[in-house]
Structure 1
Amino acid sequence: REQPMRDLGNDEWQAEFLLEKLGLYECQVVAWVDHFVTWIEGFHKKADGGEEIGVELLIGAELLEAAAGRAPKPESGRLREWAAHLRDPSLPAAERGLAARNPALADLARRYPDRSLASEAPFVRKILVDPPKAVFSSWYELFPRSWAREPGRHGTFADCERLLPEIAALGFDVLYLPPIHPIGRRFRKGKNNDVRCGPDDVGSPWAIGAEEGGHKALHPQLGSWEDFHRLQERAREYGLEIALDIALQCSPDHPYVREHPGWFRWRPDGTVQYAENPPKKYQDIIPFDFECAEWRLLWEELRSIFVFWIERGVKIFRVDNPHTKPMAFWEWLISELKADYPEVILLAEAFTRPKILYHLAKCGFSQGYTYFTWRATPAELREYLVELTSSPVREFFRPNFWPNTPDILPVYLQQGDRSTFLQRLILAATLSSNYGIYGPAFELCVRSALVPGKEEYLDSEKYEIRHWEWNAPGNLKPEIARINHIRKTHRALQATDNLRFCEVDNPQLLAYAKASPDLGDVILVVVNMDAHPQSGWVRFPAEEFGIDSHKPFQVNDLLADTSYTWHDGSNYVRLDPTLRPAHLFWVTQYAPD
């Protein structure tokens, strides 16, 4: 379909159109000279200047005759009637001039311009319409193999099914599982990424592929296909969607390595090139060669992996390290997937340079990991969030904030305490509409690092089965449930690009506000990012959020169940992190019922 553009002046044009379905849209700007509109503009000037308009009316009549030749019936007949009227010598020129000025004539003629010499923009703009969960979601990541009831046993899908009521009660709506495929045995890593592997070591789930199968197979100890489908069905009953990790890489035992050796890079000594990120080496993982001679066959097979899982009910994927694959591959793959499965959501796990991260979003990824994990001060967060929520980044990139991941235990969490974990939870859940945690390490405030100051967890679940005491004293489960409930009941927190930072006179405090589009829901958050009590004066721009600043207004702390009356200008706050590191205020003109 076509949508006319409006002239904004200064050679700028604008059009709007409603996107009614999920999927990929393409639009292109087409421009041409509208000779009738050009004539009308000149005619007005000449007529108003008192010039002779007889010849001008004949020119206008010719243009209308030409438009009639391009128009269908009955519009063609009406245009010819107008043309005859403009050239009718029996009518006074002034009367014919009034007819030429009739807005109805211009509207009719404008519909049928001469587009034989139209110019098309040299590029096609693409607009991807994603499901609502791409905009607002709460993710919980766990390793299924660590959730057996008995210590030492390999967990199963059935064990995960037992967790669903609790995960739903915590307020999450996406349950994200690391790779659930068979794990390779050759060069398998031992505990804590040790190159020495014992007979009982389970290996890394990202070393995909063994005799039992590859990316389209289930790890036999997790359960059967029937077990997996029952987990999906039960999850949906609790309002949860299962998200799967897709890692486009293989273990040395993957059937692909044996059946398609040309898909991999081989070194001069006859050994296959394993994954490296110097000084780190991953002998248990072999990357694909996306530029191999058989690249078309390889790309189609990788596409079939996504299709395989989509057709088995998986609609959300966390894609591992997409920045190490060609952008052309992702642009092709995502356009192919979205054409057939527009409901699919893709999260890019890419901790890389900003331009690469943003280009992945332009390739079609629905969400992306961010640098939130490494922004540890109010000034750093403020600068970063201004970048994310300003144009042009806000137009194409949806951030997903994670305070921790199986790969990343930030130094400030290692050196912090329970209040530090709660602080990062509040920041992630209120700054971004999409956020997630790797649990239960997060809610149990696990902060032991493999090497102090480095970001690897000690006894990481990536390499061993853990047994968790989920309800251990000091866990954050009540706070997580409360915060997720607030997110779901307050529309202001269901978007990211509505963020507005507020002035505060203490550099250890971060203050920011969000509002729903109609200003019917306003949230103000003040966070103490120091380990000690801090106080300061916060200036909330009430008028910008539909609050009458000439009257007192209410700020209702949704975390502490307390209310305060504020006034125009600056208002005082004090936050002791041993009690609570943040205020999460619901701002109303009057006290809520």
Structure 2
Amino acid sequence: MPWAIGSPEGGHDAVHPALGTLEDFDWFVERARELGLEIALDFALQCSPDHPWVHKHPQWFRHRPDGSIAYAENPPKKYQDIYPLAFDADFEGLLAETVRVLRHWMAHGVRIFRVDNPHTKPVVFWERVIAEINAADPDVIFLAEAFTRPAMMHTLAQIGFQQSYTYFTWRNTKQELTEYLTELTGEAAAYMRPNLFVNTPDILHAYLQHGGRPAFEARAVLAATLSPSWGIYSGFELCENTPLREGSEEYLDSEKYQLKPRDWEAAEREGRTLTPLITRLNHIRRRVIPRCSACGTCTSTTPTTTP
């Protein structure tokens, strides 16, 4: 994340005043439920310097010899607005607080948590958190947002994460897709539930940047038909594909740093939206995928790219 969690107004169990109140959030969750949607909440275990935990639980952070709290670093980059947690001083305290925060949002209707970078925290921590939550609420889903070594991604799935991010975003040629889907449907299928995202807030692949609408359509069809779970990030429906700069996977005018209004009705009137295709794909998934038990590949003499 490009920002840290928390402010003087509250921490992981609060709503930023600019976004509304908990009552507004409850209304949002209920309205989504009326429309047949579920709300998933991003869960990032890191803090801003003014997060309430910094003052209430200083033992949860690493300290320098001068007594100051160590901020996040990934040399040569320094993230002075982010305080990473230390799990060795009060493991049980952090565990209990994490479970409390999750149950707080569960009480407000959230049953899906997308965990940010779980591979940067102790594996046993997540194993215990998920086990404790699922013991009483087995329907709660944890999605591992972990773009890391395959072995670690598989380990996270084995210790309890019900869904996993994948490398699908970077698999575009026929050979890449064939090899990767063969891997996902092999032995790993016994414990790993892949989620094929066509894009994310951080990843706008060059294939979408240069492929135009046909590339967006192709990736949507592939993701929707090759996995039980698939995902799209806001703006994909409108084929938004302008990068921050050439060679970058970051979006220009990224929503990570600003609110970005979109005129969905105008896009539909003008035929600029993929919503009809996405709707059709989801109808097909509901009707056909429950009867499917495996994914296979067919040889083809067409070019190696997907469109």
Q: Report TM bin, short chain.
A: over 0.9
Gaps of 5+ in 2: none
The structure with the largest strand share of the pair is 1
* Selected match of 1:303 from 59, 79, 99: 99
Percentage identity across aligned positions?
A: 55
Match of 2:215 in 1: 420
Question: Are the aligned partners of 2:224 and 2:281 in contact in 1 as well (CA < 8 Å)?
Answer: yes
| Structure 2 equivalent of residue 488 of structure 1 | 286
- Partner Cα distance (1:238, 1:464) in 2: 27
Deviation at 1:323, TM superposition (A): 0.6
Cα deviation, residue 218, structure 1: 0.9
Q: Aligned pair in 2 of structure 1 residues 453, 299: CA closer, same or farther (>3 Å)?
A: same
Whether the aligned pair in 1 keeps the contact of 2:228 and 2:289 (CA below 8 Å) is no
Give the aligned residue type for 1:482. R
Q: How does 1:41-190 map to 2 (within 5 A)?
A: none
Task: Please state how far the C-alpha of 1:269 moved relative to its aligned partner.
Answer: 4.5
Distance 1:377 1:308, change over 3 A: same
Specify the SS of the correspondent of 1:417: helix
2:22 to 225, 228, 233: 225
**Per-residue CA shift, 1:457-501, capped at 9, x if unaligned?**
111110112222224342211211111121122235x76x61011
Structure 1 residues 218, 260: CA separation in 2 closer, same or farther (over 3 Å shift)? same
Name the amino acid aligned to 2:261. H
- Partner SS for 1:207: coil
Partner residue in 2 for 1:277: 74
**Residue in structure 1 matching 2:273, options 470, 475, 493:** 475
Counterpart CA distance in 2 for 1:491 and 1:458 is 36
* Matched position secondary structure for 2:211: coil
Whose radius of gyration is greater, 1 or 2? 1
Aligned partner of 1:249 among 28, 46, 52: 46
What is the CA–CA distance in structure 2 between the aligned matches of 1:500 and 1:280, rounded to whole Å?
Answer: 43
Structure 1 residue 277, shift from structure 2 partner: 3.2
* Structure 1 residue aligned with 2:7: 210
User: 2:147 and 2:8 mapped to 1: Cα distance?
Assistant: 32
1:460 correspondence with 2:254? yes
Shift of 1:267: 2.4
Structure number with the higher helix fraction is: 2
Residue 404 of structure 1 is aligned with which of 186, 192, 199?
A: 199
Cα distance in 2 for residues equivalent to 1:490 and 1:477: 20
Q: Deviations over 1:262-293 (max 9, x none)?
A: 101122344422223344443322111112x2
User: Tell me, what secondary structure is at the counterpart of 1:415?
Assistant: helix
Instruction: Give the SS at the match of 1:236.
Output: helix
**Aligned-residue RMSD, C-alpha:** 1.7
* C-alpha deviation, 1:505, in angstroms: 2.2
For 2:180 and 2:83, locate their aligned partners in 1 and report how far apart those are by CA, in whole Å.
35
Q: Does 1:328 align with 2:127?
A: no
**In 2, Cα distance between equivalents of 1:445 and 1:271:** 46
Conserved 8 A contact 2:43-2:115? yes
**Cα 1:485–1:278, aligned 2, differ >3 Å: closer, same or farther?**
farther
1:365 aligns with 2:142: no
Deviation at 1:444, TM superposition (A): 1.3
For residues 446 and 379 of structure 1, the distance between their equivalents in structure 2, rounded to whole angstroms, comes to: 27
* Cα distance in 1 for residues equivalent to 2:196 and 2:250: 19
Unpaired segments of 5 or more residues in structure 1?
Answer: 1-192, 194-203, 509-527, 531-593
